[in-house]
Amino acid sequence: MPDKPSVLFVCVHNAGRSQMAAAWLTHLAGDRVEVRSAGSAPADQVNPAAVEAMREAGIDISTEIPKVLTVDAVEESDVCVTMGCGDTCPVFPGKRYLDWALDDPAGRGVAAVRPIRDEIRKRVEDLIAEIAPEPTA
């Protein structure tokens, strides 16, 4: 069996978009994908509105901690998905890079975060279909 693909989600604070994306990928793909998330300037905590929006979807990210983006994290990932962090993600040959233009949930209430959460889910579902589809019987 081939090694499972690995995905790194990167946003500036690793407190909203990248945390929600990592949680969706873990929830929807299970152990078929290795999941990481990081930020170029990590916040002290995950955005409470993102935590609540994900809780509404049945996913608990309340114990997640924003992590700093490292060269190793990028190097060890097959796919790097950036979300509004500009050019801070190091580029390595042979890696796949995607840039998802998504609104930043920082400073927004849960009502404004829900559509961001739902858009991230759609994009994660599309990514799973490409890199780790359900095994056929």
Phi/psi for 6 (5° steps) reads -125, 140
Question: Which position among 35, 49, 54, 89 bears the catalytic label?
Answer: 89
User: Tokens 């993600």 label which residue?
Assistant: 89
Half-sphere exposure of 6 (CA within 13 A, CB side): 13
CA 95-98-103 angle, to 5 degrees, is 150
Question: Which position among 7, 10, 11, 20 bears the catalytic label?
Answer: 11
89 is catalytic: yes
| C-alpha–C-alpha distance, residues 100 and 10, integer Å | 10
User: What is the dihedral angle through the alpha carbons of 99, 131, 73, 84, rounded to the nearest 10 degrees?
Assistant: 10
Question: Which position among 7, 50, 54, 85 bears the catalytic label?
Answer: 85
Catalytic machinery residues: 11, 85, 89
